[in-house]
């Protein structure tokens, strides 16, 4: 009973937080997307004062939650919760799979019992040697029929339970996919990148066996300022698609935040990474982008790329910083070029 009451209390609290999130979104005209809802939900929870202060300041100054601000706040405050959620989803998935196996086994046994009972019922009804035996036979037959009916009902309940568990597993798969992917580009997100990088380093990654490429769209703010955020989103989607196509399975690409992407490549030589980086840079300049709804010409979109190879026993933060510094050097070199962390020359 206590556990039931606690569960009810938790549900009621979560409902209140959800209503609070929806109220904030309606009041300030905040777009109803997963990132905004997560931030407004955390705002309604009211535990992270730093997040609340930043949202309040943005609402006061802008009257709503701007997309680029929401992206930054999500990366800073919400994604730190991703790892525990990921672990919880793993546990729930294991539980769901175990329950599926147990329920399937019980359902199979129930069908076997029904068959056996029906066979015994037929044999008893065949006895006709005396009136009392006939009476007992009738009673047993009635009892067996009840057992069979009960088994049928139980089998139906098990089938319903199995259906519900299948639905739960499907929902868990969908939730995991959403938590691991960026909603705009459908690429893996920052949280997935952080976990993948951490796992690779913990597994004893050897020096120079892992390459990190940081990619940033050049002059992206100009696109947003001139054509608006909707057009900016289209440019991000277009660049993401081109980068993934050019990558051609040689690594894994993630949206790092805003107009920035990161790529992890394992067991490629420096020459291979060099050729890949050049191909990635060239992938976005071959075409000119035009906004379909307004027919406005955005023009060619270029990217800058910073590349670093992993140094043995290097921390994740240090590795990322070296790639980020190389990206900054590419920007300083005039953009639309590739710079390696250990060799400040551009291509």
Structural domain harbouring 329: 190-346
Task: Give how far the C-alpha of residue 275 lies from the chain's centroid of Cα atoms, to the nearest Å.
Answer: 31
- pLDDT at residue number 4: 43
Angle between helices 2-27 and 34-45 (to 10 degrees): 120
Query: Which of the pair, 285 or 220, is modelled with greater confidence?
Result: 220
Do 282 and 215 contact (CB within 8 A), yes or no?
Answer: no
Strand, coil or helix: 264: strand
Q: Residues 174, 199: one domain?
A: no
Q: Note whether residue 298 is domain-resident.
A: yes
Q: Give the tokens for residue 83.
A: 């790892």
Is the model's pLDDT at 137 over the cut of 60? no
Query: Which of the pair, 115 or 308, is modelled with greater confidence?
Result: 308
Q: Residues 109, 234: one domain?
A: no
Do 69 and 53 contact (CB within 8 A), yes or no?
Answer: no
Query: Which of the pair, 124 or 193, is modelled with greater confidence?
Result: 193
Tens digits of residue pLDDT in 54-95: 899 989 888 999 988 888 888 777 765 555 555 545 555 555
% of the chain with per-residue pLDDT over 70: 69
Q: Residues 336, 290: one domain?
A: yes
Q: Residues 108, 61: one domain?
A: no
Q: Give the tokens for residue 194.
A: 């952080």
Strand, coil or helix: 342: coil
Instruction: Transcribe 193-225 into DSSP letters.
Output: HHHHHHHHHHTTPPTTSEEEEEEEETTHHHHHH
Q: Residues 341, 208: one domain?
A: yes
Is the model's pLDDT at 185 over the cut of 80? yes
Query: Which of the pair, 122 or 39, is modelled with greater confidence?
Result: 39
CA gap 120, 309 in Å, rounded:
74
Q: Note whether residue 74 is domain-resident.
A: no
Task: Flag whether the pTM goes above 0.75.
Answer: no
Q: Note whether residue 76 is domain-resident.
A: no
Q: Give the tokens for residue 10.
A: 């938790």
Q: How many domains does the chain have?
A: 3
Query: Which of the pair, 315 or 149, is modelled with greater confidence?
Result: 315
Q: Note whether residue 153 is domain-resident.
A: yes
- pLDDT at residue number 176: 78
- pLDDT at residue number 8: 46
Query: Which of the pair, 164 or 82, is modelled with greater confidence?
Result: 164
- The neighbouring-strand residues paired with 255 are 261
- pLDDT at residue number 19: 81
Count of residues making up the chain: 347
Assign residue 229 the CATH number of its domain: 3.30.70.270
Q: Note whether residue 296 is domain-resident.
A: yes
Tens digits of residue pLDDT in 265-323: 999 999 999 999 999 999 988 778 887 777 888 888 999 999 999 998 899 999 999 99
Q: Residues 172, 305: one domain?
A: no
CA gap 236, 238 in Å, rounded:
5
Q: Which of 180, 207, 234 is the last residue of a domain?
A: 180
Q: Residues 144, 175: one domain?
A: yes
Q: Residues 221, 341: one domain?
A: yes
Is the model's pLDDT at 339 over the cut of 70? yes
| Contacts of 231 by beta carbon, 8 Å cutoff, 6+ apart | 223, 224, 291, 296, 298
Query: Which of the pair, 46 or 344, is modelled with greater confidence?
Result: 46
Q: Residues 230, 288: one domain?
A: yes
- pLDDT at residue number 6: 46
CA dihedral of residues 196, 197, 199, 201 (deg, nearest 10): 160
Active site residues: 259
CA gap 150, 58 in Å, rounded:
62
Helix (H) or strand (E) holding 338: strand 338-340
CA gap 329, 307 in Å, rounded:
11
Is the model's pLDDT at 202 over the cut of 80? yes
- pLDDT at residue number 164: 65
Q: Give the tokens for residue 201.
A: 């380093």
């Amino acid at each position: 009973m206590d556990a039931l009451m606690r569960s009810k209390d938790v549900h009621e609290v979560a409902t209140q937080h959800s209503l609070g999130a929806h109220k904030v979104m309606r009041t300030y005209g905040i777009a109803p997307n997963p990132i905004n809802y997560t931030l407004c939900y955390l705002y309604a929870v009211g535990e992270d004062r730093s997040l609340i202060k930043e949202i309040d300041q943005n609402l006061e100054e802008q009257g709503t939650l701007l997309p680029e601000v929401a992206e930054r706040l999500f990366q800073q405050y919400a994604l730190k919760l991703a790892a525990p959620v990921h672990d919880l989803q793993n546990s729930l998935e294991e539980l769901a799979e175990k329950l599926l196996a147990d329920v399937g086994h019980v359902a199979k046994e129930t069908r076997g019992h029904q068959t056996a009972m029906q066979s015994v019922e037929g044999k008893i009804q065949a006895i006709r040697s005396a009136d009392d035996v006939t009476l007992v036979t009738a009673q047993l037959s009635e009892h067996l029929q009840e057992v069979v009916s009960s088994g049928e009902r139980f089998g139906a309940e098990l089938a319903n339970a199995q259906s519900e568990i299948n639905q739960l597993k499907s929902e868990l798969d969908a939730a995991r996919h959403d938590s691991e992917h960026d909603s705009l580009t459908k690429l893996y997100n920052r949280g997935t990148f952080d976990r993948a990088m951490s796992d690779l380093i913990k597994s004893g990654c050897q020096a120079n066996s892992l390459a990190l490429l940081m990619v940033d769209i050049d002059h992206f703010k100009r696109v947003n300022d001139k054509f608006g955020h909707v057009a900016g989103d289209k440019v991000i989607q277009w660049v993401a698609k081109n980068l993934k196509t050019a990558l051609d399975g040689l690594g894994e690409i993630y949206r790092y935040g805003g107009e920035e992407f990161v790529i992890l490549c394992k067991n490629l030589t420096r020459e291979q990474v060099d050729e890949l980086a050049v191909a990635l840079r060239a992938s976005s300049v071959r075409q000119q982008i035009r906004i379909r709804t307004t027919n406005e010409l955005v023009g060619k979109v270029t990217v800058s790329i910073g590349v670093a190879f992993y140094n043995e026993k290097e921390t994740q933060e240090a590795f990322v910083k070296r790639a980020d510094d190389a990206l900054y050097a590419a920007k300083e070199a005039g953009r639309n070029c590739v710079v390696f962390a250990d060799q400040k020359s551009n291509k």
